Chain A
Amino acid sequence: MNQVPLEQKVLKENDRIAGELRARFLEHGTLCLNLISAPGSGKTSLLEGTLANVPCGLRLAVLTGDIQTQNDANRLRRFGFPVKPITTGGTCHLDAQMIDRHLADWDLDAIDVLMIENVGNLVCPASYDLGEAAKIVLLSVTEGEDKPLKYPSIFFKSKLAVITKTDLLPYVPFDIAQAEENARRVHPEIEILRISNTSGDGIAQWIAWLEERRAQALAAQPVSLV
């Protein structure tokens, strides 16, 4: 019997495409963010609040992943920014190839911030690099403060955790400090924002976070030699 060492990533093809995407985003100064949460935690609502409140001149674009429908894309189109649905036809996550394919006819020079809404799922999307600058995990106050400990992978891989539906805090036994502590146990450096998409609380801080990240993406852009 012989043993051949393989020593490669299982998802090396996905990672290769994601690496190419990341290089393209860097080159064009496009900030790409990958929004991940359980179904219904408020990804599309946060995007609605974002598109409605972006600072003048900032050019956003959205890719929304959905297993079956185009509902989320339809909700987002009315703001006038480019929005494209990615219907996965059963697959529980987006992969780098789907992003690559759906970006084919978009000019990245015309996109400052590309937001990707992943399929509602707290597990599978964590494994797939989409070339994003940051994964962002959303956790709504109706889901329970133990979720970071139950789903550590996505909290570990996200730069930012957004606790959503804070307007419901008076009605649910959700210990927000404990939730944040749990997220930091899994990932000590994680940043955390609290947002209500319904009341608009915290949206300003979220937009400020976006702008800061956007500035970082521009600063990292290689200087053109032309």
Chain B
Amino acid sequence: MHEVGIANSILEATRAEMARHSAARPLRITVRIGELAAVDPDSLQFCFAALTRGTELAALELKIEPCPRRNCCPACGAEFTVADYDFRCTQCGEERTEFVSGDQLELASLEMESYESSTA
């Protein structure tokens, strides 16, 4: 259950960003979670709700973008989604392809109401 810590890190980053936008209210934070990130979206949502309840971020929505594993092919350059651990290139059939992404645990963006940047 490290989702509590993950949720906390997300909220810290949100607060840090909001400090730069004094006249705005945060609405939604979007995070990307790869299938290899070892983070369970449901329990992250649960922890996020528990940590924001009754705080100034109670209305903040957590949007999770799940990211599948992507590999790329050294033979033909194609990039493709790996389904069911089948690493063969979907374009040319090459057996040995390389990992590109799928372990993301990233903050993508923060949406807010009446944006006013306090820094240039």
Q: Which residues of A contact B (CB under 8 A)?
A: 1-11, 13, 91-93, 95, 123-124, 126-128, 149, 151-154, 156-157, 185-186, 188
Chain B: which residue is nearest A9 at the CB level?
B106
Interface string of B6-49 (1 = CB under 8 A from A): 10011001000100010010010001000111110000000000
Q: A92-B2, A124-B1, A185-B85 are in contact. Are A4 and B38 (CB under 8 A)?
A: no
Q: Please state if A126 and B38 are interface contacts (CB–CB under 8 Å).
A: yes
Q: Tell me how far the C-beta of B103 lies from the nearest C-beta in chain A, rounded to whole angstroms.
A: 7
By a CB distance below 8 angstroms, the chain A residues around B115 are 1-2, 4
Q: Please state if A1 and B110 are interface contacts (CB–CB under 8 Å).
A: no
Q: A1-B27, A188-B87 are in contact. Are A6 and B2 (CB under 8 A)?
A: no
Q: Please state if A4 and B110 are interface contacts (CB–CB under 8 Å).
A: yes
Q: Please state if B38 and A10 are interface contacts (CB–CB under 8 Å).
A: no
Q: Please state if B106 and A8 are interface contacts (CB–CB under 8 Å).
A: yes
Residues B83-120 near A (CB distance < 8 A): 85, 87, 96, 103, 105-115
By a CB distance below 8 angstroms, the chain A residues around B2 are 91-93, 123-124, 127-128
Q: Tell me how far the C-beta of B106 lies from the nearest C-beta in chain A, rounded to whole angstroms.
A: 6
Give A95 to B9 CA distance when docked, in angstroms: 13
Q: Which of B9, B17, B113 has the most CB of A within 10 A?
A: B9
The contact of A10 among B36, B96, B107, B114, by CB within 8 Å, is: B107
Q: A10-B31, A124-B2 are in contact. Are A1 and B111 (CB under 8 A)?
A: yes
Q: Categorize the interface residue count of chain B.
A: 20 to 34
4 closest cross-chain pairs (CB), A and B? A2-B115, A124-B2, A153-B38, A126-B38
B5 interface residue per 8 A CB criterion: yes
Q: Tell me how far the C-beta of A132 lies from the nearest C-beta in chain B, rounded to whole angstroms.
A: 16
Give A185 to B83 CA distance when docked, in angstroms: 11
Can you list 14 A-B contacts with CB-CB less than 8 angstroms, sorted by A residue number? A3-B110, A4-B17, A4-B115, A6-B109, A7-B107, A8-B106, A8-B107, A11-B9, A92-B1, A124-B2, A124-B38, A153-B103, A156-B103, A186-B85
The contact of A4 among B6, B9, B109, by CB within 8 Å, is: B109
Q: Please state if B103 and A157 are interface contacts (CB–CB under 8 Å).
A: yes
By a CB distance below 8 angstroms, the chain B residues around A153 are 36-38, 103
Give A83 to B98 CA distance when docked, in angstroms: 39
Q: A3-B110, A6-B13, A153-B38 are in contact. Are A11 and B105 (CB under 8 A)?
A: yes
By a CB distance below 8 angstroms, the chain B residues around A5 are 108-109
By a CB distance below 8 angstroms, the chain A residues around B105 are 9-11, 127
Give A91 to B24 CA distance when docked, in angstroms: 34
The contact of A127 among B24, B27, B35, B37, by CB within 8 Å, is: B37
Chain B: which residue is nearest A154 at the CB level?
B38
Give A151 to B38 CA distance when docked, in angstroms: 8
The contact of A8 among B13, B35, B103, B114, by CB within 8 Å, is: B13
Chain B: which residue is nearest A14 at the CB level?
B9
Q: Please state if B110 and A6 are interface contacts (CB–CB under 8 Å).
A: yes
